[in-house]
Chains A and B, each alone.
Chain A
Amino acid sequence: MYPDPFRTDTRRGFIKKSALAMFGSSLGGNLLGSGLIPGKLIAAAFPGAVGDPYSIIGKNPGLSILNDRPWNVETPAHLLDDEITPADRLFIRNNGIPPREVDPSTWTLTIGGESAVAEKVFTLQELKSNFTHHTLQLTIECGGNGRSEFNPPAKGNQWTTGAVGCSQWTGVRLRDVLESAGIRDDAVYIGYYGKDRHLSGDPEKYSISRGVPMSKALEDESLIAWAMNGEDIPPMNGHPLRLVFGGWPASTSGKWLSKIVIRNKVHDGQKMGGQSYRVPCQPVTPGSEVADEDMCIIESMPVKSLITYPRTGAILQEGQPLTVRGHAWAGDLRVSAMHTSNDFGATWQPCQLDGPANRLAWQRWRAEVQFPGKGYYEIWALATDSEGVTQPMVVPGWNPKGYLNNACHRIAVKVV
């Protein structure tokens, strides 16, 4: 159990019946939820109405809140320096209203769908007892991480660099659980459903219901997880149960997981179609309108890296050497090389690069950087994946929703 997250779900229904609602009628909407009345009063009248801070208790105060209804919270690069992302530093990307009361002892997961041989229901305890446990460090990154740099601007939460993390997840293989229900030969995709509700409060609408092709679902590293870093998953990150698909848009890793459907076609849940988590199948001119049928679903994320030490803005004395370090990851692939530049990409120096803790975990890198004299410098970080593809130095191909910005990370340094 954890404190009630904000509840926008009942406000609209409540307000319709409320005598107070008439005060807002001349403005066409309602004033009660609008902030025209000071926050403390709203909090008293509608507990949690404006993004109840209790629901992100346990998160590091250094995280940046992009949106509080629903919570969208990112982690500054220098707070991602740990090899294994701690619970207080893993970003939050919510689409709807998380479940208010979670009781792991009564939580169930249903496996169904037209390509399941039989529908099966597991309690959380049955999942833990019936299947082999696996613990893996897996990189999850929001498809929209880096959106803030696109121009013309793309609508949505304006993520900079912090919608990524690599925590250690414990659970069972999705494959083992799907196989226990039986997978028909015509299966092509899985889709998930979670217990978060649509922001409008409409119980008939799902906030998000995405999935992955069978090939990804059946990988050794695809988990149904109940623990993160050896503890319960934080409430806003999906407690008590979620999917984790390392290397793919984090929106595929459904939170508050209650049902998985095995589909005989590409899953058609909320935010699978239209323009959501899709990019133009062919590159387009910036600012173009792209028809839905010309948009393709994002699968493996592109190669990317972060400088997690030092924090941007470091001032050094002339001659003082600088150790820089960070992480690099490459979707389904491995990172094969890492370089930094202190001259705006004109020259690149190789870094020391570690292997991943396991497949689909990010890789640690470090380097000693020298400066030729006083002045303003930027350290740029550039990863290369196992197929020889590198990060772009400028913002990559524009796309309507602003996904997949893997431009090299930059920090500012001054030598005085």
Chain B
Amino acid sequence: MHKGMVLAALCLPVHLLGNSEPGKDSSTGYQIPPGLNIVNGIHITSGLVVNEGFEVVLANCVPCHSGKLIAQNRATRDGWRNLIRWMQKTQKLWDLGDNEESILDYLAKNYAPAEGGRRAPLKDIQWYFLE
């Protein structure tokens, strides 16, 4: 079922929907869900990148922990799979069935490790004049 139908079924008042950027991502053909608060490709409520696989990650991961925990981590596809196995073994995560591959595709694509050395340059510096 498409989530647009879910939202319609719940008869949401328009003012709850927030900003939305419905439409199609031209590079992937991914249909961006309507009715969500999305800014710069990030779903504000969950903190997750809105991209292919977003809905299934939202439905299976975010019920139990914050999307922000996903978004701040980086791992390879194998690393993410190991994490899913660990959650299944110790944290009561259910069997993801056919959704597992979609979830891994999404995580490996959007939250992959960056190449880097032993210590990265300082970043995000907000310069100010010190009196």
Contact = CB atoms under 8 A, between A and B. Distances in A.
Interface of A: 8, 11-12, 15, 20, 23-42, 50-51, 65-69, 149, 151-153, 155-158, 199-200, 202, 310-316, 320, 322, 378, 393-395, 407, 410-412, 414
Contacts of A394: 118-119
Contacts of A15: 63
A38 to B, nearest CB: 5
Given A38-B18, A155-B75, A315-B128, 13 more contacts: A25-B1, A27-B55, A33-B63, A35-B46, A36-B59, A38-B36, A38-B37, A41-B12, A65-B68, A68-B68, A200-B64, A312-B125, A313-B126
A30 B7 CA distance: 14
Contacts of B35: 38
B128 A314 contact: yes
- B37, B46, B79, B119 — which one has the most chain A CB atoms within 10 A of its CB? B119
A320 B43 CA distance: 45
A69 B66 CA distance: 5
A232 to B, nearest CB: 27
A38 B16 contact: yes
B130 A322 contact: yes
Given A27-B99, A151-B113, A412-B122, A37 B66 contact: no
Contacts of A24: 6, 59
A283 B63 CA distance: 37
- A32, A202, A313, A322 — which one has the most chain B CB atoms within 10 A of its CB? A313
A237 B64 CA distance: 22
Interface residues of B, number: 59
B29 interface: no
Nearest to A15: B63
Given A24-B59, A31-B3, A313-B125, A37 B118 contact: no
- B66, B94, B113 — which one has the most chain A CB atoms within 10 A of its CB? B66
B45 A152 contact: no
7 contacts: A27-B59, A36-B33, A36-B36, A41-B12, A314-B130, A315-B128, A393-B119
B58 A23 contact: no
Interface in B32-70: 33, 35-37, 43-46, 48, 55-56, 58-69
A35 B62 contact: yes
Contact of B6 (A36, A378, A410): A36
A27 B1 CA distance: 8
Contacts of B61: 29, 34
Contacts of A42: 45
Nearest to A312: B125
Contacts of A322: 130
Contacts of B126: 312-313
Contacts of B74: 153
